[in-house]
Structure 1
Amino acid sequence: MNNLNYKHLRYFWMVAKTGSIAKAAEQLFLTPQSISGQLTEFASVLGVELFRRSGRNLEVTDAGRKVLSYADEIFSIGDELIEAIHDQRAKKSTPLKVGIADSVSKLVAYRLLEPALELAEPIRLICREGRLVPLLAELSVNRLDMIIADRPMPNHLNVRGFNHLLGESQLTVFGAPSLIKKLANDFPSCLDQAPFLMPGEDAAIRSKLEQWLDNNNLHPIINGEFDDSALMKSFGQAGVGLFAAPSTNAAHICEQYKVQPIGKIEAVVEQVYMIATERQVKHPAIMAISEKGREDLFGISPAKT
Structure 2
Amino acid sequence: MLNYHHLRYFWVVAHEGSVSRAAKRLRVTQPTVSGQLRELQDQLGEELFRRAGRGLELTELGKSTLVIADEIFALGEQLLETVRGNRVGRPLRLAVGLSDAVPKHVAYQILEGAVAARIQIACHEDTPSRLLADLASHTLDVVISDAPSHAPTAHDHLLGEVGVAVWGVRRLAHELRAGFPRSLDGAPFLMPLSGTGLRRELDAWFVDHGIKPRIVAELEDAALLARFAAAGAGLYADPDLEGDRPRGMVRAGSIKSMRVRYYAITVERRLAHPAIALVAGAEKLFGKRRASRQATGSVRGSRPRAAS
The two structures share one fold, judged by TM-score above 0.5 = yes
> Is 2:114–2:280's contact at 8 Å kept on the other side of the alignment?
no
Distance 1:213 1:257 in 2: 27
Paired residue type of 1:105: P
Deviation (angstroms), 1:123: 2.5
Deviation (angstroms), 1:207: 1.6
Deviation (angstroms), 1:118: 1.8
Distance 2:287 2:251 in 1: 19
Distance 1:291 1:180 in 2: 34
Distance 1:219 1:279 in 2: 41
Structure 2 unpaired stretches of 5+: 1-84, 300-308
Give the alignment of 1:127-142 within 5 angstroms. 127-142=123-138
Distance 1:179 1:161 in 2: 42
Q: 1:260: which partner in 2? A: 250
> Is 2:148–2:263's contact at 8 Å kept on the other side of the alignment?
yes
> Is 1:102–1:228's contact at 8 Å kept on the other side of the alignment?
yes
Q: 2:286: which partner in 1? A: 298
Deviation (angstroms), 1:244: 0.7
Q: 2:149: which partner in 1? A: 153
Post-superposition CA distance 1:46-66 (Å, at most 9, x none): xxxxxxxxxxxxxxxxxxxxx
Deviation (angstroms), 1:187: 0.5
Q: 1:201: which partner in 2? A: 194
Post-superposition CA distance 1:163-184 (Å, at most 9, x none): 1101101110111013235549
Which of 200, 212, 227 lines up with 1:234 in the alignment? 227
Paired residue type of 1:299: G
Q: 1:169: which partner in 2? A: 162
Q: 1:187: which partner in 2? A: 180
Q: 1:214: which partner in 2? A: 207
Q: What secondary structure does 1:92 align onto?
A: coil
Farther-moved stretch of structure 1 (186-195 vs 123-132): 123-132
Distance 1:210 1:226 in 2: 15
Identity %: 34
> Is 2:216–2:234's contact at 8 Å kept on the other side of the alignment?
yes
Using a 3 Å threshold, how does the CA distance of structure 1 residues 111 and 180 change in structure 2: closer, same or farther? closer
Distance 1:245 1:189 in 2: 18
> Is 2:110–2:280's contact at 8 Å kept on the other side of the alignment?
no
Q: 1:286: which partner in 2? A: 275
Which of 104, 116, 119 lines up with 1:118 in the alignment? 116
Distance 1:244 1:140 in 2: 31
Post-superposition CA distance 1:3-56 (Å, at most 9, x none): xxxxxxxxxxxxxxxxxxxxxxxxxxxxxxxxxxxxxxxxxxxxxxxxxxxxxx
User: Please, what is the CA RMSD of the aligned residues?
Assistant: 2.6
Q: What secondary structure does 2:257 align onto?
A: strand
TM-score (norm 1): 0.62
Distance 1:117 1:205 in 2: 27
Deviation (angstroms), 1:281: 3.1
Q: What secondary structure does 2:138 align onto?
A: coil
State the number of aligned residues.
Answer: 208
Paired residue type of 2:116: E
TM-score (norm 2): 0.62
Distance 1:171 1:106 in 2: 15
Distance 1:235 1:193 in 2: 18
Deviation (angstroms), 1:252: 2.3
- Bigger Rg, which one: 1
> Is 1:163–1:276's contact at 8 Å kept on the other side of the alignment?
yes
Paired residue type of 1:112: I
Deviation (angstroms), 1:106: 0.9
Q: What secondary structure does 2:105 align onto?
A: helix
Which of 69, 91, 94 lines up with 2:92 in the alignment? 94
Using a 3 Å threshold, how does the CA distance of structure 1 residues 200 and 257 change in structure 2: closer, same or farther? farther
Paired residue type of 2:228: F
Q: 2:305: which partner in 1? A: none
